[in-house]
């Protein structure tokens, strides 16, 4: 990164991380459902979108994922058979996305992981592949949300990801092939317009990006980072280029680790 583009924005947790802002295209893979804390069993609708959610911006076409699974109590369930190709209509364009269904029966944590096919970003002449984790919990029973699931690149949460409190902070650890990544750049994103599950388009916009470009958190020597949560909703964190594979079809491949967490305000 050009050092003249780096601007120190704040220091939330000394010795843990620093926050800077930089220009970015803010690509973020979503594995989305509006309700992540469940009391009753059921078939939960999911939506997979490759988007710029903070700016409610450009939507990218998705190919069928290489893999889409859920981890629950030591079992791995393949969700690829439930995928259904749809068109998501963004503010400025429309693109291919996917609907899916997660069967929730037992209590505990359901850790969703999508491994998308590499996406060619022509403006940067690189491929992007974002290993993306989202979480659903039934009945408030913990069952592994803070454990690695063995993705090539992943962020392991140290704060329960389905109910982070506004005004508190979220801490995660960046892993590549199971090993911590020091000095990783983690881009922070807010889902400013949550997708309408029926209409396949953004809902009401509740925020806009701050000036100065994307917010970036830097992991410490052991791969940890911390970010203060200022607003209720879905927050995404993408550790850029931390995966073990660096090339695809003769071009640079950025394997990113993405995690989505849900925050709530206390009234």
CA distance 168 to 209: 20
Q: Can you tell me the mean pLDDT for 73-98?
A: 97
Q: Can you tell me the mean pLDDT for 14-33?
A: 62
Q: Can you tell me the mean pLDDT for 191-209?
A: 96
Q: What is the pLDDT of residue 25?
A: 54
Q: State how far Cα 154 lies from the chain centre.
A: 10
Which of these ranges, 21-35, 55-69, 144-158, has the smallest mean pLDDT?
Answer: 21-35
Residues paired with residue 251 on neighbouring β-strands, in sequence order: 248
- C-alpha to C-alpha distances, 80 to 103, 112, 114, 218, 219, nearest whole angstrom: 13, 12, 9, 33, 32
- C-alpha to C-alpha distances, 23 to 7, 103, 109, 203, 226, nearest whole angstrom: 11, 39, 35, 26, 21
Q: How confident is the model at residue 24 (pLDDT cuts 50, 70, 90)?
A: very low
pLDDT tens track for 107-155: 999 999 999 999 999 999 999 999 999 999 999 999 999 999 999 999 9
Does the pLDDT of residue 22 top 70, yes or no?
Answer: no
Q: What is the pLDDT of residue 229?
A: 98
CA distance 265 to 60: 31
Q: How confident is the model at residue 181 (pLDDT cuts 50, 70, 90)?
A: very high
**Buried b / exposed e across 10-42, counting CB within 10 Å, b at 16+?**
eeebeebbbbbbbebbbbbbbbbbeebebeeee
Does the pLDDT of residue 198 top 60, yes or no?
Answer: yes
Residues paired with residue 183 on neighbouring β-strands, in sequence order: none
- Strand-strand pairing, 164-165 and 251-264: parallel
Please provide residue 220's backbone torsions phi and psi, each rounded to the nearest 5 degrees.
-85, -170
Q: Can you tell me the mean pLDDT for 78-82?
A: 98
């Amino acid at each position: 990164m050009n050092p003249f583009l780096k601007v120190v924005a704040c220091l939330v947790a000394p010795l843990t991380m620093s926050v800077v802002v930089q220009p970015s295209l803010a690509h973020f893979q979503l594995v989305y459902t509006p309700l992540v804390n469940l009391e009753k069993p059921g078939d939960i609708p999911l939506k997979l979108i490759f988007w710029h959610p903070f700016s409610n911006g450009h939507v990218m076409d998705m190919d069928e994922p290489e893999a889409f699974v859920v981890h629950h109590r030591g079992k791995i369930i393949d969700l690829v058979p439930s995928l259904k190709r749809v068109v998501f209509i963004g503010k400025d364009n429309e693109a291919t996305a996917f609907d899916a269904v997660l069967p929730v029966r037992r209590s505990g944590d359901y850790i969703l992981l999508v491994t998308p096919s590499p996406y060619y970003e022509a403006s940067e002449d690189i491929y992007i592949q974002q290993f993306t984790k989202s979480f659903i919990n039934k009945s408030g029973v913990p069952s592994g949300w803070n454990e690695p699931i063995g993705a090539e690149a992943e962020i392991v949460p140290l704060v329960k990801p389905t109910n982070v409190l506004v005004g508190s902070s979220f801490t995660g650890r960046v892993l590549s092939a199971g090993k911590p990544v020091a000095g990783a750049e983690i881009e922070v994103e807010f889902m400013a317009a949550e997708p309408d599950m029926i209409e396949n388009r953004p809902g009401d916009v509740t925020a806009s990006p701050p000036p100065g470009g994307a917010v970036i958190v830097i992991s410490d020597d052991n791969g940890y980072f911390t970010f203060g949560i200022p607003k209720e909703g879905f927050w995404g964190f993408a550790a850029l280029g931390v995966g073990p594979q660096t090339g695809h079809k003769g071009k640079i491949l950025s394997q990113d680790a993405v995690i989505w967490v849900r925050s709530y305000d206390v009234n």
